[in-house]
Amino acid sequence: MSLVELKDVTVRQGAQTVLQHVDLSVRSAEILTIVGPNGSGKSTLLRTIIGAIRPTGGQVVRKAGLRIGYVPQKLHIDPTLPLTVRRFLSLPDRVSDDAAARALSHAGAEGVSSQQMASLSGGQFQRVLLARALLSRPDLLILDEATQGLDQPGSAAFYRQIEAVRRDLGCAVLMVSHELHVVMAASDRVICLNGHVCCEGAPEHVASAPEYRALFGTGTQGALALYRHEHNHTHDHAHGTGHAQSHDHKHDKDRAAS
Amino acid sequence: MTFLDDFLIRAALAGLGVAIAAAPLGCLVVWRRMAYFGDATAHAAILGVALALTFQTSVFAGVLAVSLAMAAVISGLSGRGYAMDTLLGVLAHSAIAFGLVAVSFLSGVRIDLMAYLFGDILAVSKTDLGVIWGGAVLVLLLIRWRWSALLTTTLNPDLAHAAGLDPKREQLVLTVALALVVAVAIKVIGALLIAAMLIIPAAAARPFASTPERMALIAGGIGALSVLGGLQASYHFDTPTGPSIVCVSAVLFIAASLSDLVGRRIGRR
**Are B162 and A77 in contact (CB < 8 Å)?**
no
Calpha distance A6→A62 (Å, rounded): 9
Q: Check pLDDT > 80 for residue A249.
A: no
- pLDDT tens track for B99-144: 888 888 876 666 678 888 888 898 899 999 999 999 999 999 999 9
User: What's the DSSP call for residue B211?
Assistant: S
Least confident of A104-108, A158-162, A234-238, B111-115: A234-238
**Are A84 and B149 in contact (CB < 8 Å)?**
no
Calpha distance A87→B214 (Å, rounded): 11
Distance from CA of A3 to the nearest CA of B (A): 14
User: What's the DSSP call for residue B62?
Assistant: H
pLDDT of residue A232: 38
Q: B221 versus A144: which is more confidently predicted?
A: B221
Calpha distance A163→A170 (Å, rounded): 10
pLDDT of residue A149: 73
DSSP β-ladder status, A16-27 and A2-13: antiparallel
Q: A233 versus B139: which is more confidently predicted?
A: B139
CB atoms within 10 A of CB A12: 13
Which A positions 109-148 lie with beta carbon below 8 A of chain B? 116, 136, 142
Q: What is the fold of B2-194?
A: ABC transporter involved in vitamin B12 uptake, BtuC (1.10.3470)
Q: Tell me, yes or no, if A93 comes closer than 8 A to chain B by beta carbon.
A: yes
Confidence label for B197 from pLDDT (cuts 50, 70 and 90): very high
Q: Tell me, yes or no, if B123 comes closer than 8 A to chain A by beta carbon.
A: no
Q: Tell me, yes or no, if B155 comes closer than 8 A to chain A by beta carbon.
A: yes
Question: Is residue B58 within 8 Å of residue B79, measured between CB atoms?
Answer: no
**Are A92 and B209 in contact (CB < 8 Å)?**
no
Half-sphere exposure of A27 (CA within 13 A, CB side): 6
What distance, in Å, lies between the first and last C-alpha atoms of chain B? Answer: 56
pLDDT of residue A231: 38
pLDDT of residue B108: 64
Closest CA to B92 of B48, B37, B30: B37
- pLDDT tens track for A48-62: 999 999 999 999 999
**Are A82 and B215 in contact (CB < 8 Å)?**
yes
Calpha distance B218→B192 (Å, rounded): 24
Instruction: Pick B158's closest partner by Cβ from A72, A77, A87.
Output: A72
Partners of B158 on chain A (C-beta within 8 Å) are 47, 50, 52, 70, 72
Closest-CA residue of A relative to B28 is A81
pLDDT of residue B1: 62
Domains, chain A, ordered by start: 2-67+138-257 (3.40.50.300)
For A130, residues 6+ apart whose C-beta sits below 8 A from its C-beta are A71, A107, A109, A143, A146, A161, A162, A165
Calpha distance A171→B63 (Å, rounded): 51
Closest CA to A117 of A126, A172, B204: A126
**Are B211 and A87 in contact (CB < 8 Å)?**
yes
**Are B212 and A68 in contact (CB < 8 Å)?**
no
Closest-CA residue of A relative to B162 is A50
- pLDDT tens track for A169-220: 889 999 987 767 667 777 889 898 888 888 888 888 887 788 887 877 654 4
Distance from CA of B159 to the nearest CA of A (A): 6
Q: What is the rounded average pLDDT of the residues B64-78?
A: 85
Percent above pLDDT 90 for chain B: 55
If you average pLDDT over each of B61-75, B117-131, B177-191, B202-216, which comes out highest? B202-216
Question: Is residue A69 within 8 Å of residue A131, measured between CB atoms?
Answer: no
Q: How many CB pairs under 8 A join A and B?
A: 76
**Are A72 and B206 in contact (CB < 8 Å)?**
no
Q: Check pLDDT > 60 for residue A245.
A: no
Q: Tell me, yes or no, if B56 comes closer than 8 A to chain A by beta carbon.
A: no
- How much is the ipTM here? 0.85
Question: Is residue B20 within 8 Å of residue B139, measured between CB atoms?
Answer: no
Half-sphere exposure of B39 (CA within 13 A, CB side): 18
- B240 preceded by a cis bond (ω within 30 of 0): no
Instruction: Pick A72's closest partner by Cβ from B33, B159, B215.
Output: B159
Q: Check pLDDT > 70 for residue A46.
A: yes
pLDDT of residue B104: 83
Q: Tell me, yes or no, if B206 comes closer than 8 A to chain A by beta carbon.
A: yes
Q: Domain-by-domain residue ranges, chain B?
A: 2-194
- pLDDT tens track for A74-114: 889 999 999 999 999 998 889 999 999 999 998 888 889 99
pLDDT of residue B107: 67
Calpha distance B196→B257 (Å, rounded): 17
For B144, residues 6+ apart whose C-beta sits below 8 A from its C-beta are B24
Calpha distance B180→B174 (Å, rounded): 10
Calpha distance A202→A192 (Å, rounded): 11
Q: Tell me, yes or no, if B261 comes closer than 8 A to chain A by beta carbon.
A: no
Exposure b/e, B76-106, CB count within 10 A at least 16 = b: eeeeeeeeeeebbeebbeebbeebeebbeee
Q: Tell me, yes or no, if B227 comes closer than 8 A to chain A by beta carbon.
A: no
Q: A59 versus A244: which is more confidently predicted?
A: A59
User: What's the DSSP call for residue A84?
Assistant: B
Partners of B159 on chain A (C-beta within 8 Å) are 70, 72, 75, 91
Closest-CA residue of A relative to B202 is A80
